[in-house]
Amino acid sequence: MSESPQPLAAAVRETLEAAPRKALPMTYQEVADALGLQPPRTIQRVAQALEVLMCEDLAQDRPFIAALVVSRRAPHMPARGFFELAVELGRFPADTALHAQAWREEYQHVLAARE
C-alpha cells in the first residue's frame, strides 16, 4: 500500500512555514514527529514529500523550503537526495564542492521569504 506524497507534502509545507525561526532547521525525524508519522519508512516519506515541495517551489520560482530540513548527523545539512534533485532541477551547481555554500544561501533565501 503506497500513499501519495502530495497530501503529506502539503502537511510538511505547513509544518515548516509554521515553525518558529528558533526551531529551524528541523531534522527529518523532527518533521516526521511533528506530523505524527508512524513507521515504517517515516524518514523516506518525509524525504519524498520534500522532493515534491522542491518541484513545486521551482515551478513557482520560490526558494526550496526543503532547505529547512537537515540530517541529524553531522554536518547537519540536507540528505544527498536534496542536493541531487537541486542539481537536476538546475538550482544548484553540479560541482559537489559548491553544494554546502549553495545550501546555506538557499536556507537564507527561505528564511527571508518567510518574513
Q: What is the DSSP code (8-state) at residue 98? A: G
Query: Average pLDDT for residues 23-51, to the nearest whole number?
Result: 96
How buried is 90 (Cβ within 10 angstroms: 0-12 exposed, 13-18 middle, 19+ buried)?
Answer: exposed
Which residues are bridge partners to 69 per DSSP? 26
Q: What's the total number of domains in the chain?
A: 1
Residue 5 has pLDDT above 60, yes or no: yes
At 7, list the grid cell: 497530501
Residue 45 has pLDDT above 60, yes or no: yes
Q: For residue range 70-109, list pLDDT tens digits in order.
A: 999 888 999 999 999 999 999 999 999 999 999 999 999 9
- CB neighbours of 98 closer than 8 A, spacing ≥ 6? 92
Structural domain containing residue 82: 5-114
**CA–CA separation, 114 vs 82, rounded Å?**
20
Task: Report which of 98, 32, 79, 34 is spatially closest to residue 67, judged by C-alpha positions.
Answer: 79
Residue 3 has pLDDT above 80, yes or no: no
Residue 1 confidence (pLDDT): 36
Residue 75 confidence (pLDDT): 87
Residue 4 confidence (pLDDT): 67
Mean pLDDT taken over the chain: 94
